[in-house]
Chains A and B, each alone.
Chain A
Amino acid sequence: MAAADLPLLKPALYQTAGTEVTPERPALLGGECACGYWFFPLQTYGCERCGSREIKPRALSGTGALLASAQVHRHAGKSREAPFTVCSVALDDGPVVRTLIVEGCGPLTVGQRMGTTLAPVTDLEGRAALDLRFEPET
Chain B
Amino acid sequence: MALNDLRPAYVAGIGFHRYQFASETPYVDLGLAAVRAALEDAGLPWPAVESAYVAKALLPMAPGRAMLRHLGATGIPIVHIENASASGSAAFRHAVMEVAAGLADIVLVVGVDKPMPVARAEGLARIGGLADDAIAPFTHFAMLADAYAAKSGAAFEDIALVAVKNHKNGSQNPFAQHQKVRTLDDILNGNKISGSFTSLQCTPVGEGAAAVIVASEDGLKRHGLGLDRAARVTASAGRSQRVYEDATRYDAMLTEETAAIALREAGLTPAGIDVVELHDAFTVEEVEYLEAMGLAPDGQAVPMLKAGEFDIGGRCAVSASGGLIAMGHPIGPTGVGQIGEITRQLRGEAGTRQHKGARRGLAHMVGVGAVCYVHILEKA
Chain A residues near B (Cβ < 8 Å): 10, 12-14, 37, 41-43, 45, 48-49, 67-77, 79-80, 84, 86-88, 90, 94-100, 109-111, 132
Interface residue B146 (Cβ < 8 Å from any Cβ of A): yes
Q: How far is the CB of B248 from chain A (nearest CB, A)?
A: 5
Q: How far is the CB of B247 from chain A (nearest CB, A)?
A: 5
Interface residue B130 (Cβ < 8 Å from any Cβ of A): yes
- Please state if B194 and A69 are interface contacts (CB–CB under 8 Å): no
| Alpha-carbon distance between A69 and B142 when the two chains are bound, in angstroms | 8
Partner among A86, A96, A110 whose Cβ is within 8 Å of the Cβ of B150: A110
A-B contact pairs, 18 of them (CB 8 A): A41-B126, A42-B127, A43-B126, A68-B145, A69-B143, A70-B146, A70-B195, A72-B139, A74-B192, A79-B134, A86-B131, A87-B143, A88-B147, A97-B129, A99-B129, A100-B134, A109-B150, A132-B130
Interface residue B293 (Cβ < 8 Å from any Cβ of A): no
- Please state if B192 and A45 are interface contacts (CB–CB under 8 Å): no
- Please state if A98 and B135 are interface contacts (CB–CB under 8 Å): yes
Interface residue B331 (Cβ < 8 Å from any Cβ of A): no
**B143, closest chain A residue (CB):** A68
**A65, closest chain B residue (CB):** B248
- Please state if B134 and A86 are interface contacts (CB–CB under 8 Å): yes
**A12, closest chain B residue (CB):** B127
* CB under 8 Å from chain A, chain B span 110-164: 125-131, 133-136, 138-139, 142-147, 150-151
Other A-B pairs beyond A86-B134, A110-B147, 9, CB < 8 Å: A43-B126, A49-B243, A67-B143, A70-B146, A72-B134, A73-B194, A79-B133, A110-B151, A111-B150
Instruction: Give the chain B neighbours of A67 by CB distance below 8 A.
Output: 143, 147, 248
